[in-house]
């Protein structure tokens, strides 16, 4: 049985639907992330799990029990907010002891529990400090220790690292992964930062306008987006609209499809599920899966895709360069190449004639017509994405 089950939960504010018929389940011990753009309903969903807000429809079950009538303080759920929300007049130890005192923990146990929670977040020597004497990262670790000290079943974290600078955020991400492993508590993490979601999570629910668009492992979300929104939102992606013009079942090593992409030509991809000739959709192609080489007119492997073009624009980023290549038909393809040749800051200049090559399974075909039907089905039968 899942630890947390969200069944067809909807929350409306007046005529606006902030969370729209969301269903998903989270297993005990999971690091689960709700990822989506600002305003897509992440915090609203989290507040309902915590009990600070109530669904207009649907159910939330913790350990199989509907928690609609359980007040927040009686749920085995704690929340860490972006803003830390520490008590400024209390020491670190006082802040962490507070929920234990509320739970009427015997005074004799409080000291050791506070010390253990401080150890968990590597703040052993900081018990006597006040919040204003701590850095942002340290304050957030105190907030996490305070949330964990009562050993909740579920820890909710709402953009806990967004106030920190990039370097510190990366360090805290590694700490969070290790902390979650060592305490074994289920984390539900909210972020609008896709890199953070990919780095931290066992599974990610990508949300858009109150709905779950896709729920899967990070590598699946990145490599096999099931909608235009997900392909576009996660990382950078070439989205090549086209139409299926050929299906070859007997190609080696696996079946292939041919997609006619206006402005580019025929693009070969791996066979998509339910593919039919004349079906429409898009080829989602990541810039780092494309090889760029100097145009040399040599014959190419026909199992692969190759197109020639000219570098139109480039973005030098130190370790890598992003090249925008325009093909003779006018398609613009973004490709990314590491600047790995010694003595050369980058490999190509604007105006250079180049060949673009990528293998058949580098591009992932997203069937748009099928997706629309799936969505209509979702609404009609009130089934979730989980
Ligand atoms: N109490 C409220 N009254 C009216 N509208 C609300 C209320 N709370 C949230 N909303 C609206 O619901 C939508 C979802 O809000 P929510 O805070 O869940 O977004 P979010 O995904 O957490 O965004 P962000 O990444 O910016 O924090 C927003 O359009 C917001 O304006
Ligand atoms: Mg929010």
Per-residue pLDDT band for 381 (boundaries 50, 70, 90) equals very low
Is the beta carbon of 43 within 6 A of some atom in ligand 1?
A: yes
Kindly list the distances between the CA atom of residue 53 and the CA atoms of 28, 43, 78, 299, in Å, as whole numbers in the listed order. Answer: 23, 10, 14, 63
Domain ranges, ordered by start, for the chain: 4-228, 236-368
Q: What local confidence, expressed as pLDDT, does residue 280 receive?
A: 94
Least confident of 79-83, 108-112, 313-317, 357-361: 79-83
The protein residue whose alpha carbon is closest to atom 11 in ligand 1 is: 18
In terms of Cα–Cα distance, which of 155, 123, 164 is closest to 50?
155
For residues 98 and 142, is the Cβ–Cβ distance under 8 A? Answer: no
The Å distance, Cα 42 to ligand 1 centre, comes to: 8
The Å distance, Cα 20 to ligand 2 centre, comes to: 16
Q: What is the pTM of this model?
A: 0.89
Instruction: Compute the average pLDDT of residues 360-383.
Output: 62
Q: What local confidence, expressed as pLDDT, does residue 369 receive?
A: 66
Is the beta carbon of 13 within 6 A of some atom in ligand 1?
A: yes
Strands 77-80 and 154-158, sheet pairing? parallel
Alpha-carbon distance of 22 to 24, in angstroms, equals 7
Give the mean pLDDT of the chain.
91
Per-residue pLDDT band for 382 (boundaries 50, 70, 90) equals very low
Q: What local confidence, expressed as pLDDT, does residue 346 receive?
A: 86
Ligand closest to CA 17: 1
Instruction: Compute the average pLDDT of residues 132-160.
Output: 94
Buried b (16+ CB within 10 A) or exposed e, 270-281: bbbeebeeebeb
Q: What local confidence, expressed as pLDDT, does residue 379 receive?
A: 41
Per-residue pLDDT band for 232 (boundaries 50, 70, 90) equals very high
Instruction: Compute the average pLDDT of residues 176-187.
Output: 94
Domain 4-228 shares a fold with domain 236-368: no
Q: What local confidence, expressed as pLDDT, does residue 351 receive?
A: 96
Q: What local confidence, expressed as pLDDT, does residue 340 receive?
A: 85
Q: What local confidence, expressed as pLDDT, does residue 252 receive?
A: 67
> Domain 236-368's class?
mainly beta
Q: Which atom of ligand 1 is nearest to the CA of 207?
A: 21
Question: Which architecture characterizes domain 4-228 according to CATH?
Answer: 3-Layer(aba) Sandwich (3.40)
Cβ-proximal residues to 375 (8 Å cutoff; 6+ apart), any chain: none
The Å distance, Cα 204 to ligand 2 centre, comes to: 16
């Amino acid at each position: 049985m899942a630890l947390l089950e969200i069944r067809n939960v909807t929350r409306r504010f007046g005529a606006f639907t902030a969370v729209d018929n969301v269903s998903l389940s989270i297993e005990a011990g999971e690091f689960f992330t709700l990822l989506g753009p600002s305003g897509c309903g992440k915090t609203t969903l989290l507040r309902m799990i915590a009990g600070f807000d109530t669904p207009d429809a649907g159910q939330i079950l913790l350990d199989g029990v509907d928690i609609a009538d359980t007040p927040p303080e009686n749920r085995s759920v704690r929340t860490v907010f972006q803003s830390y929300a520490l008590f400024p007049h209390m020491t670190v130890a006082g802040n962490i002891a507070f929920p234990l005192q509320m739970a009427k923990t015997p005074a004799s146990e409080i000291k050791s529990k506070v010390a253990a929670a401080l150890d968990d977040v590597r703040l052993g020597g900081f018990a006597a400090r006040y919040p204003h004497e701590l850095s942002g990262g340290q304050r957030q670790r105190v907030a996490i220790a305070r949330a964990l000290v009562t050993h909740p079943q579920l820890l909710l974290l709402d953009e806990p690292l967004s106030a920190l600078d990039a370097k510190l955020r990366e360090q805290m991400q590694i700490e969070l992964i290790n902390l979650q492993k060592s305490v074994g508590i289920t984390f539900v993490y909210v972020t609008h930062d896709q890199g953070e979601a990919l780095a931290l999570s066992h599974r990610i629910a990508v949300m858009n306008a109150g709905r779950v668009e896709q729920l899967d492992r990070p590598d699946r979300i990145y490599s096999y987006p099931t909608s235009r929104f997900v392909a576009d939102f996660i990382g950078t992606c070439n989205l090549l609209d086209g139409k299926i013009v050929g299906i070859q079942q007997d190609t080696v090593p696996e079946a292939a499809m041919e997609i006619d992409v206006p402005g580019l030509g025929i693009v070969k991809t791996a066979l998509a599920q339910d593919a039919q000739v004349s079906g429409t959709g898009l080829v989602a192609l990541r810039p780092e899966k494309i090889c760029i080489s100097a145009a040399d007119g040599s014959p190419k492997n026909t199992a692969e895709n190759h197109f020639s073009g000219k570098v139109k624009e480039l973005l030098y980023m130190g370790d890598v360069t992003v090249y925008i290549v325009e093909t003779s038909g006018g398609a613009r393809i973004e490709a990314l190449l590491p600047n790995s040749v010694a003595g050369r800051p980058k490999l190509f200049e604007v105006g250079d004639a180049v060949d673009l090559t990528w293998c058949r399974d580098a591009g992932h075909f997203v069937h748009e017509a099928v997706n629309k039907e799936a969505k209509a089905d979702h609404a009609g039968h009130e089934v979730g994405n989980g």
